[in-house]
């Protein structure tokens, strides 16, 4: 069976506009989100960027994301995927009639803990620096073939810089970031960058356009995670749209969808997400 690789576009961690960016959380305040993401795919971008058909694989991630203002400038961040389900579909081959049973793995996912410090505040453009620690809590080998995973098994450290600006009184904001991700266990390091633009309609509905790019430095081993879901030397260019609706001053809901229109070692299918968030 062809080897399958995937990365979730932040995955991965899709957050609403009040979270993230160059702005810190005010001291004692926070943003908390319960989210559900999923991707179902029967094709992926191979090492050369070509799209290859595969046995249908799915990944469902239920997660908690939180930001808390420790001080005026320092914000603590947690991303905890507390339930991740990875599946391979049952498959029947013709004309032999051979049936390959489906498989599933339920486990924790890899968790991020981060601290963001505001370098520039109360200016037209704000700037922050953040240090992320990726904790390998996920399973790295599940199912009969060991191909099902909920994590990559490596401890990574990422430094990220975010710059943001508001176009007040227009309900419009813009953010951009650059990051370097150091990965262990012979995984290749990564360079990441992206941007987003958000606009609020009727004081309740916010639409956000995002672009995330990951570029591998290809300085790791080609043998790393060669039988798993979370792969080495992953690259992608992925636009994403997100909408959030404020139900009250504190509570809201959001929905998102993203797709890698070019990539390497990732699933070639859309990634969707929904969530409920709370601002305190």
Q: Where are the domains of the chain?
A: 30-279
pLDDT digits (tens, 9 = 90+) for 61-110: 999 999 999 999 999 999 999 999 999 886 655 566 666 678 999 999 99
User: Please, which pLDDT band fits residue 49 given cuts at 50, 70 and 90?
Assistant: confident
Q: What is the mean pLDDT of residues 115-139?
A: 96
Q: Which of 38-52, 114-128, 139-153, 259-273 has the lowest mean pLDDT?
A: 139-153
Residue 28 or 47, more confident: 28
**Greatest CA separation for the chain:** 69
Say whether pLDDT at 115 is over 90.
yes
CATH architecture classification, 30-279: Beta Barrel (2.40)
Residue 236 or 102, more confident: 236
Mean pLDDT of all residues in the chain?
88
Distance CA 147, CA 6 (A): 11
Q: Which pLDDT value is given to residue 224?
A: 59
Say whether pLDDT at 9 is over 80.
no
Specify the pTM. 0.89
Contacts for 120-126: CB closer than 8 Å, 24+ residues apart? 120/22, 121/24, 121/72, 121/73, 124/165, 125/22, 125/163, 125/164, 125/165, 126/21, 126/22, 126/23, 126/163, 126/164, 126/165
Both tokens of 234, joined, read 């992953």
User: Please, which pLDDT band fits residue 48 given cuts at 50, 70 and 90?
Assistant: confident
Distance CA 15, CA 211 (A): 13
By percentage, how much of the chain surpasses pLDDT 70?
A: 86
User: Please, which pLDDT band fits residue 19 given cuts at 50, 70 and 90?
Assistant: low
User: Please, which pLDDT band fits residue 18 given cuts at 50, 70 and 90?
Assistant: very low
Q: What is the mean pLDDT of residues 245-257?
A: 97
User: Please, which pLDDT band fits residue 16 given cuts at 50, 70 and 90?
Assistant: very low
Say whether pLDDT at 229 is over 70.
no
Q: Which of 118-122, 230-234, 267-271 has the lowest mean pLDDT?
A: 230-234
pLDDT digits (tens, 9 = 90+) for 188-218: 999 999 999 999 999 999 999 999 999 999 9
Q: Which of 129-133, 146-150, 229-233, 268-272 has the lowest mean pLDDT?
A: 229-233
pLDDT digits (tens, 9 = 90+) for 143-153: 777 788 899 89
Residue 100 or 41, more confident: 41
Among 197, 117, 203, 127, residue whose Cα is nearest residue 162: 127
Residue 28 or 6, more confident: 28
């Amino acid at each position: 069976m062809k080897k399958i690789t995937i990365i979730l576009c932040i995955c991965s961690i899709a957050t609403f506009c009040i979270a993230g960016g160059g702005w810190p959380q005010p001291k004692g305040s926070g943003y908390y989100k319960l989210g559900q993401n999923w991707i179902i795919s029967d094709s992926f971008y191979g090492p050369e960027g070509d799209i290859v058909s595969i046995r249908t694989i799915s990944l469902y991630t239920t997660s908690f994301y939180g930001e808390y203002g420790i001080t005026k400038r320092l914000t603590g961040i947690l991303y905890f995927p507390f339930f991740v389900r990875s599946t391979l579909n049952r498959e029947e081959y013709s004309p032999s009639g051979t049936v390959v049973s489906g498989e599933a793995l339920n486990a924790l996912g890899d968790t991020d803990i981060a601290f963001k410090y505001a370098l520039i505040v109360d200016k037209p453009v704000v700037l922050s620096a953040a240090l992320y620690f990726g904790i390998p809590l996920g399973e790295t080998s599940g199912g009969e073939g060991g191909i099902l995973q909920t994590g990559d098994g490596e401890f990574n450290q990422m430094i990220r810089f975010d710059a943001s600006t508001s176009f007040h009184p227009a309900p419009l904001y813009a953010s951009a970031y650059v990051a370097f991700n150091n990965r262990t266990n012979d995984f290749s390091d990564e360079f990441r960058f992206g941007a987003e633009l958000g606009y609020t309609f009727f004081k309740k509905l916010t639409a956000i356009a995002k672009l995330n790019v990951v570029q591998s430095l290809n300085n790791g081993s080609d043998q790393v995670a060669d039988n798993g879901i979370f792969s080495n030397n992953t690259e992608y260019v992925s636009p994403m749209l997100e909408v959030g609706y404020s139900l009250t001053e504190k509570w809201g809901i959001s929905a998102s969808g993203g797709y890698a229109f070019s990539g390497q070692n990732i699933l070639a299918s859309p990634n969707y997400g929904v969530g409920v968030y709370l601002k305190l």
